[in-house]
RNA sequence: GCGUCGGUGGUAGAGCGGUCAAUUACAUCAGACUGUAAAUCUGACGCCUUCGGGCUACGAAGGUUCAAAUCCUUCCCGGCGCACCA
């Protein structure tokens, strides 16, 4: 890819905002200096997910332009818990968990950025500097920001209004994250739009302590124009550990509004190609076909060509042609009733639930297409394939 | 410690003596339809049931009452305010 084109993609694709401004970044890029850019990742989960790949792609663009990139593992900050995400508030991670997670991370991230060869990405841990700080150091650091600056943060404003508590350590979080920038003496940072505040704290600190202007690129979040995120319940949050079939299926269940953002944020489609996708949609083409294209591209980028193809075939077979594919669960009947089997195997959670499903006509014999009645469910289960709802299929042998 | 407000189902958040297994929204599941596991519409959404009903649940334990998520007492947990000086 040509350098100017790459530059254009770097500056625009998936970008929500550039601080202090775009011109500043352009100047930096044009200076010929080798810049150092990083993105931070919390090692709280055993796997990266599709959202992380947005940042990774952005880092890759810098890497391709010959700049130094750092994959920062927030092992120290993960211990405290980012108040941005209140559910993970006091989760503590052991050394061991972090190590295990890290291994997986490197492998997963390696699909998007290069960890070897020339200009390889570096991995750093913020525990290396944050863990060593003394209380006096922390105070010195804290003296660089005012309470007022902190209180401007949306989340804190909201909490004040709701009379919800704000703990002191929550003020420390942006400071810690901001200090990462200082410790690594970076030129820029990439992060999701929701991390803007924390990233700006780093900007402030870097200016105060090293008189350096750090640029910040925030990427758009993967959501449709109503702010509807993919998988509000994280049900369709694509994890990089998912099987290709799972990934493909999850993406197919994204709402249509995510098609264009999906292409922009999670694929290597060029701006022209994305415009093409938009036009197709406006022309009224079946969005399903574009979504399949999207699913294919994403699966491919997270795994490989072959896996993506297999995932697509499996999807078509299962959900479009409604055929069976091999990976259905086999359960031995052993003279039990269908009801007993379904409950023992945790396919339904209770007799009441099963009853409702049967009443709704959701339990069918796959071959005869006949609905199973309540009486039948209490008789000895006949061998065969049963379908419970649209996604649960079992074979009794 | 004092004052005050609160602790409700997966989440948010109503209810404040009977009509409450508990409004509503979101999430979830199912049905119809289709263009897909999208959208939309419809329904379900504690457990058990011989489908009559039964049982367990609104922080915990007691109590008042024919009747309590709702009132009282104690306890546990949380928010906010107060605490010195003014």
Among A320, A343, A368, give the residue marking a domain's end. Answer: A320
Classify the C-alpha dihedral A59-A35-A212-A142 as positive or negative. Answer: positive
Strand B contacted by A271 CB (< 7 A): no
Structural domain count, chain A: 3
Compute the mean pLDDT over every residue in chain A, rounded to the nearest whole number. 85
Q: Which nucleotide is nearest to A248 (CA to C1')?
A: B37
Average pLDDT on A41-47 reads 77
Q: Which nucleotides of B are covered by protein (CB under 7 A)?
A: 26-32, 35-39, 43-49, 51, 78-80
Strand B contacted by A350 CB (< 7 A): yes
Among A183, A204, A219, give the residue marking a domain's end. Answer: A219
| pLDDT confidence of residue A101 | 77
Strand B contacted by A94 CB (< 7 A): no
The answer to the question of residue A135 being in a domain is: yes
Residue A46 · residue A94 · CB < 8 Å: no
> Is residue A136 located within the same domain as residue A193?
yes
Helix axes A271-282, A3-12, angle to 10 degrees: 60
Classify the C-alpha dihedral A83-A84-A90-A95 as positive or negative. Answer: negative
> Is residue A34 located within the same domain as residue A89?
yes
**From the C1' of B47, which residue's alpha carbon is nearest?**
A352
The answer to the question of residue A172 being in a domain is: yes
> How many C-beta atoms surround the C-beta of residue A124 within 10 A?
18
pLDDT at A282 over 50: yes
DSSP A94-146: -HHHHHHHHHHHHHHHTTTS-SSSTTPPEEEETHHHHTT--HHHHHHHHTTS-
- Give the list of residues 6+ apart from residue A154 with CB closer than 8 angstroms, or none: A197
Whole-angstrom distance, CA of residue A343 vs CA of residue A347 = 6
Helix axes A287-302, A244-252, angle to 10 degrees: 150
| pLDDT confidence of residue A77 | 78
**Inter-CA distances, A145 with A115, A132, A134, A151, A306, Å:** 35, 21, 18, 11, 52
Q: Which CATH number goes with the domain that contains A307?
A: 1.10.240.10
Strand B contacted by A83 CB (< 7 A): no
The tokens for A353 are: 């639930």
In this predicted complex, what is the ipTM? 0.84
The better pLDDT of the pair A210, A46 is held by A210
> Is residue A312 located within the same domain as residue A351?
no
Average pLDDT on A244-268 reads 88
Q: Which nucleotide is nearest to A361 (CA to C1')?
A: B31
Strand B contacted by A166 CB (< 7 A): yes
pLDDT at A326 over 70: no
Strand B contacted by A86 CB (< 7 A): no
* Residue A360 CA distance to nucleotide B43 C1' (Å): 8
> Is residue A271 located within the same domain as residue A377?
no
Q: Name the percent of chain A in helix, strand, coil, to the closest 5.
A: 50, 15, 35
The answer to the question of residue A313 being in a domain is: yes
Among A141-145, A147-151, A211-215, A341-345, which is the least confidently predicted range?
A147-151
> Is residue A191 located within the same domain as residue A109?
yes
The answer to the question of residue A231 being in a domain is: no
Average pLDDT on A78-98 reads 56
The answer to the question of residue A235 being in a domain is: no
> How many C-beta atoms surround the C-beta of residue A66 within 10 A?
12
Among A320, A350, A371, give the residue marking a domain's end. Answer: A320
Percent of chain A with pLDDT over 70: 90
The answer to the question of residue A226 being in a domain is: no
Burial environment of residue A11 by CB neighbours within 10 A (0 to 12, 13 to 18, 19 or more): middle
* Residue A239 CA distance to nucleotide B42 C1' (Å): 33
Provide the residue range defining the domain that includes A277: 244-320
Please, which pLDDT band fits residue A93 given cuts at 50, 70 and 90?
low
The reported pTM is 0.82
| pLDDT confidence of residue A72 | 94
> Is residue A209 located within the same domain as residue A126?
yes
Average pLDDT on A16-39 reads 92
> Is residue A337 located within the same domain as residue A315?
no
The answer to the question of residue A228 being in a domain is: no
pLDDT at A227 over 60: no
| pLDDT confidence of residue A281 | 86
Whole-angstrom distance, CA of residue A41 vs CA of residue A30 = 28
pLDDT at A329 over 50: yes
Average pLDDT on A275-284 reads 87
- Give the list of residues 6+ apart from residue A98 with CB closer than 8 angstroms, or none: A43, A73, A75, A78
Strand B contacted by A232 CB (< 7 A): yes
| pLDDT confidence of residue A325 | 60
> Is residue A51 located within the same domain as residue A108?
yes
> Is residue A333 located within the same domain as residue A316?
no
pLDDT tens digits, one per residue of A356-376: 999 988 998 888 888 899 999
| pLDDT confidence of residue A225 | 59
Q: Judging by DSSP bridges, how do beta strands A15-19 and A215-219 pair with one another? A: antiparallel
Burial environment of residue A366 by CB neighbours within 10 A (0 to 12, 13 to 18, 19 or more): middle
Q: Which CATH number goes with the domain that contains A151?
A: 3.40.50.620
pLDDT tens digits, one per residue of A157-193: 777 777 777 777 778 888 999 999 999 999 999 998 8
| pLDDT confidence of residue A283 | 83
Whole-angstrom distance, CA of residue A262 vs CA of residue A266 = 5
Please, which pLDDT band fits residue A226 given cuts at 50, 70 and 90?
low
pLDDT at A88 over 80: no
């Amino acid at each position: 890819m040509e350098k100017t084109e790459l530059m254009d993609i770097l500056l625009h694709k998936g970008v929500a905002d550039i601080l202090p401004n775009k011109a500043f970044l352009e100047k930096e890029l044009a200076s010929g200096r080798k810049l150092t850019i990083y993105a931070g990742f919390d090692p709280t989960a055993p796997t990266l997910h599709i959202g992380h790949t947005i940042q990774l792609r952005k880092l890759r663009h810098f890497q391709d332009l010959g700049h130094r990139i750092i994959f920062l593992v927030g092992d120290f900050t993960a211990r405290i818990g980012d108040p941005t995400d209140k559910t993970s508030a006091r989760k503590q991670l052991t050394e061991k968990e972090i190590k295990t997670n890290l291994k997986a991370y490197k492998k997963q991230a390696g699909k998007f950025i290069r960890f070897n060869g020339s200009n390889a990405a570096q991995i750093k841990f913020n525990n290396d500097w944050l863990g060593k700080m003394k209380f006096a150091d922390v105070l010195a650091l804290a003296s660089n920001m005012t309470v007022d600056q902190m209180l401007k943060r949306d989340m804190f404003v909201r909490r004040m209004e709701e009379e919800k508590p704000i703990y002191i350590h929550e003020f420390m979080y942006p400071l810690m994250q901001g200090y990462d920038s200082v410790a690594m003496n970076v030129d820029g940072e990439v992060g999701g739009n929701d991390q803007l505040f924390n990233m700006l704290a780093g900007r402030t600190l870097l200016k105060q302590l090293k008189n350096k202007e750090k640029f910040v690129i925030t990427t758009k979040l993967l959501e449709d124009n109503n702010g509807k995120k993919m998988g509000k319940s994280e049900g369709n949050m694509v994890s990089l550990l998912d099987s290709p079939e799972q990934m493909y299926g999850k993406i197919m269940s994204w709402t249509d509004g995510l098609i264009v953002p999906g292409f922009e944020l999670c694929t290597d489609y060029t701006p022209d190609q994305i415009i093409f996708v938009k036009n197709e949609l406006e022309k009224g083409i079946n969005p399903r076909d574009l979504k399949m294209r999207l699913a294919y591209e994403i699966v491919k980028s997270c795994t490989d060509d072959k896996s993506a193809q297999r995932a697509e075939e499996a999807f078509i077979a299962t959900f479009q042609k409604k055929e069976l594919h091999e990976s259905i669960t086999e359960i031995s009947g052993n003279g039990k009733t269908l009801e007993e089997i379904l409950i023992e195997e945790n396919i339904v959670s209770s007799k009441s639930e099963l009853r409702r499903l049967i009443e709704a006509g959701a339990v069918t014999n796959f071959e005869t297409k006949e609905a199973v009645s309540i009486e039948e469910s209490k008789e000895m289960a006949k061998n065969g394939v049963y379908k419970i709802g649209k996604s649960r299929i079992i074979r009794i042998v």
